Amino acid sequence: MELGHANLEEFASTILELARQDTSVLVMTSDSRGSARLTQFGEQLPNQLVEIGIAEQDLVGIAAGLASCGKKVFAVSPACFLTARGLEQIKNDVAYSDQPVKLIGISAGVSYGALGSTHHSLHDFAALRAIHNLTIMAPADNFETRQTIQAICGYPHPVYVRFGKAPLFHLHAPDTAFAIGKAIPIRNGRDLTFVACGETVSAAAAAAELLEKDGVSCRVFSMHTIKPLDQDALVEAAQQTGAIITVEEHSVCGGLGEACAAVLLQAGLHTPFKIVGIPDEYTVTGSQSEIFNHYGISPDGLTQTARQLLFTRTVG
């Protein structure tokens, strides 16, 4: 796999292109243009960047007002603050009011690493999934990020997108089909399916390669849209491969894994199933990759989880 750049960089270049073509595209920041790699955007299109300062509630409320007047608004702020401090504004001013704001949560999950839990967003999927009228997305690489931003720019309803700041491996060919709500298959397999999202997808893909060498054939999905979930792909994978491991940079409570579990159980499928994410504890301190390794969100960790799950299935 070839290493690309951070999804932050891909977002910045994509939104700059879109905004150059359409003056109604606005980017809003909360003293976050530097960390969002939007300094160049501000220099080149100063009239299309609205700085709000460190005030996430205000950021989201104003975004709703701008969107109500026809602006294509991307409200960009660290995911941890945007989706916690601004949660009531997201719920009421954006989702309930159906103002088509695009909420961009940057440096999501544990991207901020050793800055600690104040700066981690391990709650955002859970909090936002319970809010009606909000699409939730977590692109896995630069291709998915570009496709996501292009797809949502003119989308007439609210969307939340979150990504991190680490350079990411390219996972897809440039002509890969992309649609909101449709999982992208990265690898086909018979014995087990990894359903991953965001920056954990490459670890799942690498684990699948390792397992293949041992004769375990794995399917891998990038489930870039957490809501609405691609239920058809999930159910088919459970039926065809007989085991599911979900992987996410989020609390194991209320995220992708529990969303998948609900779909499978209600489809009558009691497939061997494991949720890999950040457990419900004080998160270990360290960098993003150290935290990933600690909790088994790594090629080795996921390989081990897969073996355990398949062993359980074999011995019953």
Residues of this chain that bind another protein (CB under 8 A): 47, 50, 52-53, 55, 57-58, 60-71, 88-89, 92-93, 96-99
Provide the 3-class DSSP secondary structure of residue 55.
coil
Task: In whole angstroms, give the CA distance from residue 301 to residue 316.
Answer: 22
Q: Max Cα separation, the chain?
A: 64
Q: Which is nearer to another protein, 70 or 174 (CB)?
A: 70
Q: Which is nearer to another protein, 86 or 301 (CB)?
A: 86
Q: Mark residue 98 as left, alpha or beta (left: phi above 0; alpha: psi -120 to 50; beta: remaining).
A: left
**Least distance to another protein, CB of residue 65, Å:** 2
Residue 252 is given by DSSP the state S
Minimum distance between the CB of residue 71 and another protein, rounded to whole angstroms? 6
161-199 burial, b at 16+ Cβ within 10 Å, e below that, comes to bbbbbbebbebbeeeeebebbebbbbbebebbbbbbbbb
Task: Please state the separation of Cα 209 from the chain's center in Å.
Answer: 22
The minimum distance between CB 64 and another protein, in angstroms, equals: 5
Q: Which residue has the tokens 């790594």?
A: 298
Task: Pick between residue 101 and residue 216 the one whose CB is nearest to another protein.
Answer: 101
Q: Compute the distance between CA of residue 243 and CA of residue 306 in angstroms, rounded to an integer.
A: 9
Least CB distance from residue 309 to another protein, whole Å? 44
Distance set, CA 252 to CA 54, 79, 106, 111, 224 (Å): 29, 17, 20, 17, 17
Contact 152, 100 (CB under 8 A): no
Closer to another protein at the Cβ: 99 or 241? 99
Residue among 19 and 204 whose Cβ is closer to another protein: 19
Whole-number minimum distance, CB 118 to another protein, in Å?
19
**Is the Cβ of residue 86 or residue 139 nearer to another protein in the bound state?**
86
State the minimum distance, in angstroms, from the CB of residue 160 to another protein: 18
